[in-house]
Amino acid sequence: MLVTTAERQGKVFMITIKNFLILITLTFIVSSNIGCNDEILETEIPPAAFPDVVVNLDLPQYQDLNIDQGHVTLNEGVRGIILYRVNASTYNAFEVNCSYQPYDACANVIVDQSNLFLRDDCCGSTFSVQDGQPTRGPAQFSLRRYTVVKERRTLTITDQPIN
């Protein structure tokens, strides 16, 4: 039995439509399951490689780092780094990118006006300035914390995460 070109094209068209419908069904199933499982939405903060950042505490732009609870935001990391002074010997460097839904455009933390914790106004999460652990909100993972080495009046921040 001979198959005409039109019949062959019709069969190919039907197979293509069937595959398309299967793809749409699978996409719907996967996206429906994501909505029910917050853990899937909490992906890792994207990695950031950057050269060491050297901060001279004697420079005027870093004067806030000479008092406890002082902080500055630097233009390194994924979305920036908050450099926070706990006390004269302890400085913490936190990724600005929030750990809850880190690929959302608004997933950014700032230092609260009280200077006592970090917060993300988008999701409502708050984080400790001591270690970056979440203290409230939907975030379950700590902020990425970078290594800070203090030598006399100089701080060096590396892209090596602590947690």
The three-point CA angle 108-80-100 to 5° equals 30
What is the reported pLDDT for 80? 97
User: Distance (Å, rounded) from C-alpha 100 to C-alpha 58?
Assistant: 35
pTM for this entry: 0.73
Task: For 34-71, write each residue's pLDDT tens digit.
Answer: 443 444 345 678 889 999 999 999 999 999 999 999 99
What is the reported pLDDT for 7? 56
pLDDT beneath 70, residues of the chain: 1-43, 163
What is the reported pLDDT for 45? 86
Report yes or no: 50 and 159 within 8 Å, Cβ to Cβ. yes
User: Distance (Å, rounded) from C-alpha 87 to C-alpha 64?
Assistant: 12
What is the reported pLDDT for 25? 41
Q: What DSSP element (H or E) covers 52?
A: none
